[in-house]
Amino acid sequence: MSTWLITGCSTGLGRALATAVLAHGHNAVVTARDVTSVSDITDTAPESALALALDVTDPAQVAAAVAEAERRFGTIDVLVNNAGYGYRSAIEEAEPEDVQRLFDTNVFGAVAMIRAVLPGMRERRSGAIVNISSIGARLMPPGSGYYAATKAALEGLSGSLAKELAPLGISVTAVEPGGFRTDFAGRSLTQSATPIPDYAETAGKRRKENDTVHGTQPGNPGLAAEAIITVVEAPNTPTFLLLGSDAVAAYDETARAQQAEVDVWRDLSASTDYPPEDAQE
């Protein structure tokens, strides 16, 4: 039995994962900004579930949640940074305060959680950290630049963290889901207040009022939760995991397109070195 602390459990993947973790017989610290939104999950397993109020942008709440989880269960074996939300806007349209709030939640909130659980994991020389990213970090769609930037930042952090923690027996996995049938593109999605007409045919097509995808996404959150549990418990936990057939297809297509562009400009790219005879010893 291990103890999982999962952020952002009120809806979607976080809720599905908390439910699955408990079904597998593990302890689950189930968190949300509004703790009443997860009480139905924890009520089903009062001995192994703990509901806590947690806003990952509030340092006091982060510290209190980790301390209470460790007091109740002794250790935090798995941290899942799932809390986050989407934001759609052309780069020029975005309100600076909205962008700051997005990064505070999607990036710095995850960093705060990681820093809070690592002392215990390092002491035990064991643990797992799962950071929920998005295929958007790779696709970089028009209208989702700021959201994609937060997830790209989280993935860059995850890659370095994995190398730092591997010698200490702690795994780090960045998860890139595709489209899942959650509330991500519904209530949870935010956007710029005032669109600029010049972006109507690019960023504008992804605004909520023009989005017809919500409710028809191919991904099943319950199966995604099972997949995450599988990789965390695997002896060779991956540092990178795609979730959803659409994510796999998009990854392959993007990788091929990037490789093709590298090949076109390969000679120019390689031409910027000093001549070999000028190389420094």
Q: Which residues does the annotation mark as catalytic? A: 133, 147, 151
First to last CA, the chain: 55
Cα–Cα distance, 145 to 203 (Å, whole number): 9
Q: Would you mind telling me the total number of residues written for the chain in this entry?
A: 281
Q: Is 57 exposed, middle or buried (0-12, 13-18, 19+ CB in 10 A)?
A: middle
- Counting other chains too, the contacts that 226-230 makes at CB distance below 8 Å and 24 or more residues apart are 226/20, 228/17, 228/80, 228/130, 228/175, 229/17, 229/20, 229/21, 229/24
Distance of alpha carbon 233 from alpha carbon 256, whole angstroms: 31
Among left, alpha and beta (phi > 0; psi -120 to 50; other), residue 84 is: left
